[in-house]
Structure 1
Amino acid sequence: MSDYGTRVEAPPKRPNLTRNLLLATAVACLGSIQYGYHIAELNAPEQFLVCPNDPQTNGITSAAPQCISMTEQQFGAVTSIFSLGGLVGSFFIGSYASKYGRRSTSLYISVLSFIGSLVMFIAGSFNSLLVGRFIVGVSCGSAIVITPLFINEIAPPQWKGALGSMNQLSINLGILLTQSLALPLANLEDWRYLLAVGCILALLNALGWWWIGESPQWLVLHKHDTLQASMNLARLRNSSLQVAKQEIEQWSESNNNNSDSDTQELTFLGYITNSLYTRPRLAITLLLVGQQFSGINSIIFYGVKVVSQVVPQYAILVNLAVSIINVIVTFIASLVIDRSGRKPLLIVSALAMSLMSLLISISITSNYSVLLVLSLFGYIIAFALGIGPIPFLIIGELSSPESTAQAQSYGTVCNWLATFVVGYTFPILNQLMGGYVYLTFSVMTVLLLIGIRRYIPETKGTLNASEAWQNFH
């Protein structure tokens, strides 16, 4: 009920997505595309890349032999060392990004990715392939920290969910790109060109970062350069310098009121031991570990083998369709994430994934081919709606400004460790349990659902982490 003549103000209009903002987001997301690409690049060409384990060919050292002699254990080492490299990159990159800036650090990461991809492309032995794969892992582990961190700092509050979800969409696009190129290139003559694409992506990313300005928030928090920050923000917003200064003053004042720490003194060890960050650290651990324990990489890493248990003749096509659906639904999620909120999408996503995991288990153990395909599609749709895109983007929304870089590193390290655990143990569990292994994933996702309800606040529309936690009980 209102007084006569009282004017009801319309809700504030969303700021426009400018060309420069979208370009900066796209350049940052090229790092995530490389992450997705390298995750899946060895899946399809495995049978052509690996020579039979013939002792007479095991010592090949040619610059570019037609195939590389490896045992299954050696190929497994090449595949999994990517996770080890990613863990190393994620662990150290937060400090470097805080000290040297998001843009400069990303330029070096792109160069490192180019070198690693080139080493893999010309690899003539198991050892050289292993080294290249490790270097690529370091660069991807670093990029997956920088991408959501940078996007969170440049996005207007009303668009943080949509733009933040571009990180996961880009990972899925990278996976889809690998699988699409594998159709013509996964053969004995052309498999190396799949690895060469990594060089092209890294080069494009380096060129892109050359033309993108530094994060305005980093310039203010770490360099105290308000003028350059205002200029960069005005370019991103396509606004006047005065309007940009007002926005910077708004979030700077809010951050100063809710932060007692020196941004340049916080280390990774300080972040994981300081009780000030206990609640966000618990939430980040729950989401980033839970995302992997839901079993998603059992499909990304071993999807062809999983489907082959029931429909071997269509395994590659089903796996490609899964990737296409993942991309489409992640894009749809980006359109609704700022309207529906983070927590409702996480809850619905976890519930649906648990159900789909149960159906996957039934379909494999009972040899129901149609049910397997449908439940796989449902599983991927559920993942792409919430558990996929939200964990990485919500780290910055749950973390105070001085801890954001280290929080992003911490969350990504947790994700890498969980990825390694699932990637390493799934073949073993699958051999021991068969389709019943997906019952384990179903239970884990239920536990994740309970944790989301109890420990994750809603961050939709909040100005900063302090506001999100103050409204959470």
Structure 2
Amino acid sequence: MSTDNHLLPNSRLTKPTVSSENGGASNTGSSFTPHLLLSMLVACLGSLQYGYHMGELNAPQDYITCRAELNPGYDDSVLGRLGLSQCIPLTDSQFGLITSIFSIGGLIGSLVAGPLADSYGRKPISYWNCSIGIFGAIYLFLSDSYYGMLLGRLLAGISCGSLIVITPLFINEMSPAHLKGSLGSMNQVSINCGILITQSLAMMWANMLQWRWILLFGGLISLVNFVLLFKINESPRWLVSQGNMSDAEDVLSQLRGISRQESRQEIDGWIQGSQSVRNFSDLEARGNSQPSLGADLHLDRPSSTRSSLRDSESITLLEYWNDPKYRYPRRVITTILMAQQFCGINSIVFYGVKVIKKAFPDTAIIINFCISLVNVLITFFSSPLVDHWGRKPLLISSSMLMSVCSFMICFGIIENAPVLLVTFVVLYISAFAGGLGPIPFLIISELSHSETVGVAQSYGTTMNWIATFAVGYGFPALNSIMDGYVFLLFSAVAVCFSVYVYKFVPETKGKMDYTDVWKNLDPRVAYIQ
């Protein structure tokens, strides 16, 4: 699960225990320090880029594809004098592929991000991601053809696919145990802020003269992120995995506002938890009930503990996929991350203006902005509930409410009831923001063994990208065939997912290690697998 796994100092290989709900050493230092705040803000700019590119084509679709009336004064505008076309003639299918190829790029980025981040660090990979994002935005801005738009969106997707893996890792590895849920929710808040920014700019720039500036602005966010990365430190958890204990202690002291000695105690908890859970599982798999001679864990042997922690980070995506001991967590992660998309959220993120335009042709962009604003506010103010109520109740209640709202959205479209439609779109977004939005990316590391956190984040994000592509590419076609009835499919998926969470997903609130998470649901996963 999270990288803050902690054991009491008893070094015998017994079942892992914790000293408190928040985990002893991993909860050292409770203040929200300025350095932690800055680190969270900079890390979350990666998620903000992801949200921005997700929503950037929503409002200007008709202007990009030449469906709006051409502006006769375009040739005298800045973009016209640069020789750029006023619009790009595109079919619905072509625009759908431009929208969804972002997910293919994201899939590529998420597949490579985890292993690269484990090998080279979180910060160096973030620099590369921002560089690719800058180049992709410039390419989109200058594109005058279908294939140019495809390439620009693909590059943006690669950048964001990697960033959406790195950001949760950064947040998880820098956060104190008692703030992991609240700070982890900031990942989704940042995504929603990115979407909100696109809708804000759309009210100014969604027209025939200025739509290209929306595409370029994403590069400015990447540039700001690139510069601010120089102001924060590398993840202390990654520094420990590389044996760089001194720098890790310095970084952790700044993040927590504590002494080096206290930061060393927290680091010892990481090392001890990683070794003990791993060795305990290995012994149980061999059928041994007692640890072998010399298996005691002594924290005065830093070279061996660092080596163990480094080795625990080296698992590959293929090993994670094939190893049966990760089968159950892998299934749960797959279901949660794909269901997040198959409940239909990106039908609104990608095509919300088009859906609402049928009911409110003159104010669809403004209404979509208001919906995005509600999304941000609900996600932000509901973030403490993740730690207060727990992950599982919020997932179930969020999914069930989304199911009801999807059904009513269908009814509003079919019966041409615009007020009903917009009301339940707002409620639908609110339900997503309160549970199914922030929790999936947060819960990956909490469901995973410490040796698989990085690769599990890549794997889960990859599954999410596959589902995102399916919804992004398939929704226009399904919507043209089924009209509003397509939302009945989303409603059914949400009901099925709620049942799945109730039966098969463990609660991770207050659980400090992989064993503690899985022991009640399936002891074989915790002790043998």
Q: Same fold (TM over 0.5)?
A: yes
Question: Which of residues 327, 334, 344 in structure 2 aligns to 1:285?
Answer: 334
| Residue correspondence of structure 1 range 450-461 to structure 2 within 5 A | 450-461=499-510
Give, in angstroms, the shift of residue 130 of structure 1.
2.0
| Residue in structure 2 matched with residue 40 of structure 1 by the alignment | 55
String of CA shifts for 1:335-392, please: whole Å, max 9, x gaps: 2211111111111111111111111111211222222121111111111110010000
Structure 1 residues 52 and 378: alpha-carbon distance in aligned structure 2, compared to 1, 3 A threshold: closer
Q: Name the stretch that deviates more: 357-366 or 289-298.
A: 357-366
| Residue correspondence of structure 1 range 153-302 to structure 2 within 5 A | 153-221=173-241, 223-259=242-278, 262-302=311-351
Instruction: Name the count of aligned residue pairs.
Output: 457
> Which residue identity is paired with 1:373?
V
| Residue in structure 1 matched with residue 7 of structure 2 by the alignment | none
> Which residue identity is paired with 1:139?
S
| Residue in structure 1 matched with residue 126 of structure 2 by the alignment | 106
| Residue in structure 1 matched with residue 37 of structure 2 by the alignment | 22
| Residue in structure 2 matched with residue 85 of structure 1 by the alignment | 105
Structure 1 residues 95 and 10: alpha-carbon distance in aligned structure 2, compared to 1, 3 A threshold: closer
- Structure 2: distance between partners of 1:74 and 1:387: 30
Question: Which of residues 125, 129, 147 in structure 1 aligns to 2:167?
Answer: 147
> Which residue identity is paired with 1:67?
C
> Which residue identity is paired with 1:434?
D
Question: Which of residues 85, 88, 110 in structure 2 aligns to 1:65?
Answer: 85
> Which residue identity is paired with 2:245?
T
Give, in angstroms, the shift of residue 434 of structure 1.
1.8
Structure 1 residues 302 and 460: alpha-carbon distance in aligned structure 2, compared to 1, 3 A threshold: same
| Residue in structure 1 matched with residue 94 of structure 2 by the alignment | 74
Structure 1 residues 72 and 359: alpha-carbon distance in aligned structure 2, compared to 1, 3 A threshold: closer
String of CA shifts for 1:122-142, please: whole Å, max 9, x gaps: 223333222221111100000
Whether contact under 8 Å (1:93, 1:145) holds in the other structure is yes
- Structure 2: distance between partners of 1:424 and 1:433: 15
Structure 1 stretches lacking a partner, 5+ long: 1-8, 54-59
- Structure 1: distance between partners of 2:87 and 2:417: 37
| Residue correspondence of structure 1 range 259-408 to structure 2 within 5 A | 259=278, 262-408=311-457
Q: Name the stretch that deviates more: 124-133 or 240-249.
A: 124-133
> Which residue identity is paired with 1:324?
L
- Structure 2: distance between partners of 1:129 and 1:305: 20
SS of corresponding position for 1:66: coil
Give, in angstroms, the shift of residue 44 of structure 1.
1.6
Give, in angstroms, the shift of residue 447 of structure 1.
0.6
Whether contact under 8 Å (1:271, 1:406) holds in the other structure is yes
- Structure 1: distance between partners of 2:208 and 2:478: 31
Whether contact under 8 Å (1:358, 1:439) holds in the other structure is yes
| Residue in structure 2 matched with residue 3 of structure 1 by the alignment | none
Structure 2 stretches lacking a partner, 5+ long: 1-19, 69-79, 280-307, 523-529
- Structure 1: distance between partners of 2:136 and 2:371: 28
String of CA shifts for 1:99-137, please: whole Å, max 9, x gaps: 001111111111111111111122233332222211111
- Structure 2: distance between partners of 1:367 and 1:78: 30
SS of corresponding position for 1:408: helix
SS of corresponding position for 2:506: coil
Whether contact under 8 Å (1:458, 1:472) holds in the other structure is no
Give, in angstroms, the shift of residue 84 of structure 1.
0.9
- Structure 1: distance between partners of 2:21 and 2:378: 31
- Structure 1: distance between partners of 2:227 and 2:21: 42
- Structure 1: distance between partners of 2:520 and 2:40: 29
Give, in angstroms, the shift of residue 50 of structure 1.
3.0
String of CA shifts for 1:133-186, please: whole Å, max 9, x gaps: 111110000000111111111111110110001111101000000000111111
SS of corresponding position for 1:68: coil
1:49 aligns with 2:64: yes
Greater RCO, 1 or 2 (C-alpha within 8 Å, sep 6+): 2
Please tell me the root mean square deviation across aligned C-alpha atoms, in Å.
2.1
- Structure 1: distance between partners of 2:515 and 2:382: 26
Question: Which of residues 68, 71, 95 in structure 1 aligns to 2:115?
Answer: 95
> Which residue identity is paired with 2:471?
V
Give, in angstroms, the shift of residue 52 of structure 1.
6.9
String of CA shifts for 1:18-39, please: whole Å, max 9, x gaps: 1111111111110111111111
| Residue in structure 2 matched with residue 4 of structure 1 by the alignment | none
Structure 1 residues 165 and 128: alpha-carbon distance in aligned structure 2, compared to 1, 3 A threshold: same
Give, in angstroms, the shift of residue 76 of structure 1.
2.7
